[in-house]
Amino acid sequence: MPLPRHAYNAHVHLRALTTLHYRNLSPATLDLPRGITSIWGENGAGKTNLLEAAYLALTGLTNAPRVEQLVTRGEREGYVRADLHSGGSTSILEVGLARGRRHVKVDGVRARSSDLPRGSAVWIRPEDSDLVYGSPSARRAYLDALLSRLSVRYAHQLSRFERTLTQRNAALKSGETWAMDVWDDALVTLGSELMTMRRRVLVRLAELTQAAHTQLGGHKPLTLALTESTTPETYLADLAARRAEELARGQTVIGPHRDDLALTLDLFPAADFASRGEARTVALALRKAELDLLRERYGENPVLLIDDFTAELDPNRRQFLLDLAHSVPQALVTGTEHAPGARLTLRAESGTFMPDAAQQPLPAEATP
């Protein structure tokens, strides 16, 4: 069933994307219209890197283990910029990249990554199946990233928790038993709030994911649940009970940093029993739920980034991706072939993106 188009009137519009010394991309500024921009070409042409650059400029987020991996080989610094229209005005979002650090500016003023628009983009990738088959850390990362975009409070408390956890682990490795009570109190206060907020968001996340899963044709009942190593009510006592073990191992063994987002299909763990097709369907449902939650939270449509729709061999899931792209005001869709119904088609080749000469132009759309 086709998705409703533009269910939210308000939306963000990525008007232009600029890259300089970013991976294999040639320095360029791309003007991007509303509607679908189709970016097609052979594998290795830079299509995924372009979406990665857009996601970084819009959200400040990256999956790269080290910032310097984003910089073109042989260069010392890189740069991405997004000209973003939202809420009736246009902002300039800039991210500078160098070894071990990144610098963020909003309208020319130094800022933090957390100051970038939190609901501005959703990125769907073939690698999303790792949310099902991957380790608990991959699912925690998904949940933490989503909650951090939904709640400034969660992002702040998560950062404080991670700093406290690092300090507590250092004390455990040094055998500083005298410091445990201090670190335990701080860890429990912060960790309990994270667990409570996760529980609250999970209710709506589960509803939206289950609805998307059904829409995608998933036949087995899908459930989402938190597998917790402790609870807010027993956290402090559980830490005390595991102290000898933690001192021996030199690390904190319970808390929200060890929990998991359990996904089950027909009451069986999806990580162990889901087929590749079923795992892909669950992963797509999670991303669709992410899109819906951000729309609900901020009242506007994010920019949708769909990487390699042609890698989706199942016709139902491929059509779902294309319908999803048509249902939002702006989507960037990559693949080894054209995305149908695109307003702009770009041919990717060796990190450059040129308008496809064979494209039949669609009517222009008014810009505010």
305-329 residue pLDDT tens: 999 999 988 999 999 999 999 999 9
188 and 263 in a single domain? The answer is yes
**Of the residues 250, 283, 299, the one at which a domain ends:** 299
Q: What is the pLDDT of residue 206?
A: 98
What's the Cα-to-Cα distance from 11 to each of 6, 29, 46, 114, 296, rounded to whole Å?
9, 22, 27, 20, 12
CATH value at residue 217: 1.20.1050.90
Q: Same structural domain for residues 61 and 153?
A: no
pLDDT in tens, 237-296: 999 999 999 999 999 999 999 999 999 999 999 999 999 999 999 999 999 999 999 999
* H or E segment to which residue 366 belongs: none
Instruction: Flag whether the pTM goes above 0.75.
Output: yes
Biggest alpha carbon–alpha carbon distance for the chain: 72
pLDDT on residue 7: 46
In the predicted model, residues of the chain with pLDDT beneath 50 are 1-3, 5-8, 361, 363-364, 366-368
Count of other CB atoms within 10 angstroms of residue 71: 20
Residue 296 DSSP class: H
Residues 152 and 288 in one domain: yes
Query: Does residue 112 share a domain with residue 230?
Result: no
The answer to whether the beta carbons of residues 192 and 184 sit under 8 Å apart is no
Q: Mark which of 264, 299, 334 sits at the end of a domain.
A: 299
The binding site for ATP comprises: 41-48
Domain boundary at 246, 271, 299, which?
A: 299
- Which residues constitute the domain of residue 19? 1-119+301-368
Same domain membership, residue 253 and residue 135 = yes
Residue 9, judged by CB atoms within 10 A of its CB (0-12, 13-18, 19+), counts as: exposed
Q: Where is the binding site, in residues?
A: 41-48
Same domain? For 27 and 44 the reply is: yes
Tokens of 368: 């505010």
Please report the pLDDT score of residue 360 as a whole number: 52
